[in-house]
């Protein structure tokens, strides 16, 4: 994945929020990234450091919360967690459960002054 | 729509940020090898001094918005537009060279008298695909992304303005050849069609789970080369079933015509269903 443009998108949103609040600086940016989103947190961190320079977010802390993947098995009527796309229902071992969480790419909050 | 983050509010000119559609620095991404499969712990950025400076009053703004929200909103807007026009829209995805353009050429040729079709095709450079497709008589718009590795709804929107939509019943979007990034970008399509050519290998679905998992239809292409490649059909079908058990699977050769009728029938069927669907249904 191209973490640079994803991070750019998140930074743009954060700067927009900050501007609308009349903020001087952004101190923290909080993201929620699903483990199946295809986006690697370390790469986002690297990208952030590169692009935040010269913006009101320069020097801000980037915090990434990893969201585990959760699937729904219709046959067993249960939700289960898994680490990858090949998730087997622990009850019936069928694949292809409906993915309910784990692909998030979310700007959760920003801390400003 | 705010052009920077897609929110509904107008914005003043912000600080200098390079427009990601024009300047890409992809080089440093490829310098790292990343293991995508293991979950990460919290990764924190810089250490920073929490003590507030004089007059500094920090507050938290809860945002809770998808980073790709701008694309998602535009995709839904396009989706509404397509539905109101009774247009069936396909997003064709695959590795480079798996046969997307040939499949589209042959589909247009076979459906000529039955479905008026238009095409939007994305490549980094050249209009080779557009020229080939135009020879079939269909209206075609070529998007050159420069260095961007996927199509997004903003690009599709730009292409739609150039496409003659008069009487169109089917719109085929040929995405940039890439099994990774296009998976994340909704284009407002009705159906995601992912191609797997026999030369790609039967384990491709396992290697690129997100895109195959998102498929509504999977097409095994270049069937005429199966023997020469020692293609393991059973394994390919099992792998597709594992990632996308609800996807319709087609096996075909656009070159020889084998399997093309079943594929074209499917497209016609889907168009019928699209025509009778309530445009306001979710």
pLDDT of B27 higher than 60? no
DSSP code, position B224:
G
State the pLDDT at residue B282. 66
Please list the alpha-helical segments (H only) found in B36-68: none
The fraction of chain B above a pLDDT of 90, given in percent, is: 73
Contact A39, A105 (CB under 8 A): yes
Q: Summarize pLDDT for B146-171 with one digit per residue, the tens.
A: 988 999 999 999 999 999 999 999 99
Contact A110, A29 (CB under 8 A): yes
Mean pLDDT for B35-45 is: 42
| Start-to-end CA span in chain A (Å) | 32
Per-residue pLDDT band for B10 (boundaries 50, 70, 90) equals low
State the pLDDT at residue B55. 57
Contact B242 A9 (CB under 8 A): no
How far apart CA B72 and CA A51 sit, in angstroms, is: 24
Contact A16 B2 (CB under 8 A): yes
Contact A64 B42 (CB under 8 A): yes
Helices and strands counted in chain B (H then E): 9, 9
State the pLDDT at residue B195. 98
Q: Summarize pLDDT for A6-60 with one digit per residue, the tens.
A: 999 999 999 999 999 999 999 999 999 999 888 999 999 999 999 999 999 999 9
How far apart CA A107 and CA B67 sit, in angstroms, is: 6
Q: Beta-carbon neighbour count of residue B59 at 10 Å?
A: 11
Q: Summarize pLDDT for A67-94 with one digit per residue, the tens.
A: 999 999 989 999 999 988 888 899 898 8
State the pLDDT at residue B74. 97
How far apart CA A52 and CA B134 sit, in angstroms, is: 44
Q: Beta-carbon neighbour count of residue A13 at 10 Å?
A: 24
Contacts of A48 in chain B (CB under 8 A): 45
The complex scores an ipTM of: 0.88
Q: Summarize pLDDT for B89-102 with one digit per residue, the tens.
A: 999 999 999 999 99
Q: Which residue out of B3, B33, B45 would a mutagenesis test of the A interface target, given it has the greatest number of A Cβ atoms within 10 Å?
A: B45
Residue B100, helix vs strand vs coil: helix
- Out of A37, A96, A106, closest to residue B245 by CB: A96
Average pLDDT, chain B: 85
Number of Cβ pairs < 8 A linking chain A and chain B: 189
- Out of A10, A40, A64, closest to residue B34 by CB: A40
Q: How far apart, in Å, are the Cα atoms of B129 and each of A58, B144, B168, B173, B177?
A: 43, 11, 20, 12, 12
Q: What's the order of all strands across the beta sheet hosting A105-112?
A: B43-44, A61-67, A26-34, A105-112, B59-66
A29-33, B156-160, B206-210, B222-226, range with the lowest pLDDT: B206-210
Contacts of B65 in chain A (CB under 8 A): 13, 106-107
How far apart CA A54 and CA A32 sit, in angstroms, is: 24
Contacts of A4 in chain B (CB under 8 A): 20, 24-26, 28-29
pLDDT of B17 higher than 70? no
Mean pLDDT for B107-133 is: 95
Measure the CA angle with vertex B104, ends B99 and B109; round to 5°: 130
Q: Summarize pLDDT for B248-282 with one digit per residue, the tens.
A: 999 999 999 999 999 999 999 999 998 887 767 76
Q: Summarize pLDDT for B122-142 with one digit per residue, the tens.
A: 999 999 999 999 999 999 999
Mean pLDDT for B241-252 is: 94
Q: Supply the pTM of this predicted model.
A: 0.81
DSSP, residue by residue, A62-100: EEEEEEPEEEEETTTTEEEEESSSSPPPTTT--S-PEEE
């Amino acid at each position: 994945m191209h973490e640079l443009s994803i991070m750019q998108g998140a930074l743009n949103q954060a700067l927009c929020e900050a501007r609308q609040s009349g903020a001087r600086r952004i101190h923290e940016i909080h993201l929620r990234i699903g483990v199946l989103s295809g986006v690697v947190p370390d790469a986002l961190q690297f990208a952030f450091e590169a692009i935040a320079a010269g913006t009101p977010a320069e020097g801000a802390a980037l915090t990434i919360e990893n969201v585990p993947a959760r699937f729904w098995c219709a046959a067993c009527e249960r939700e289960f967690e898994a680490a990858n796309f090949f998730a087997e229902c622990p009850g019936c071992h069928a694949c292809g459960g409906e993915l309910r969480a784990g692909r998030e790419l979310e700007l959760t909050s920003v801390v400003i002054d | 729509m705010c052009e920077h983050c897609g929110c509904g509010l107008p914005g003043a000119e912000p600080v200098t940020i390079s427009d990601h559609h024009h300047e890409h620095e992809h080089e440093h991404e490829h310098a790292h090898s990343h293991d995508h499969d293991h979950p990460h712990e919290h990764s924190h950025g810089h250490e920073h001094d929490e003590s507030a400076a004089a007059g500094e009053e920090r507050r938290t703004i809860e945002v809770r918005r998808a980073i790709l929200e701008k694309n998602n909103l535009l995709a839904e807007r396009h989706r509404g537009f397509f539905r109101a026009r009774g247009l069936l829209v396909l997003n064709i995805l695959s590795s480079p060279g798996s046969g997307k353009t040939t499949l589209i050429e042959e589909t247009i040729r076979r459906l000529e008298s039955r479905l008026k079709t238009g095409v939007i095709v994305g490549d980094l450079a050249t209009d080779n695909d557009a020229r080939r497709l135009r020879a079939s008589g269909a209206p075609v718009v070529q998007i050159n992304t420069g260095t961007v590795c996927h199509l997004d709804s903003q690009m599709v929107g730009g292409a739609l303005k150039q496409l003659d939509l008069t009487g169109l019943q089917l719109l085929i979007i040929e995405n940039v050849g890439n099994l990774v990034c296009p998976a994340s970008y909704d284009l407002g399509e009705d159906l995601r069609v992912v191609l797997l050519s026999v030369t790609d290998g039967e384990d491709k679905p396992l290697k690129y789970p997100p895109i195959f998992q998102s498929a509504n239809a999977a097409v095994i292409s270049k069937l005429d080369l199966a023997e020469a490649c020692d293609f393991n059909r059973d394994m390919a079908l099992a792998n597709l079933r594992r990632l996308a058990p609800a996807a319709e699977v087609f096996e075909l050769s656009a070159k020889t015509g084998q399997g093309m009728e079943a594929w074209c029938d499917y497209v016609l069927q889907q168009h019928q269903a699209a025509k009778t669907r309530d445009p306001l249904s979710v």
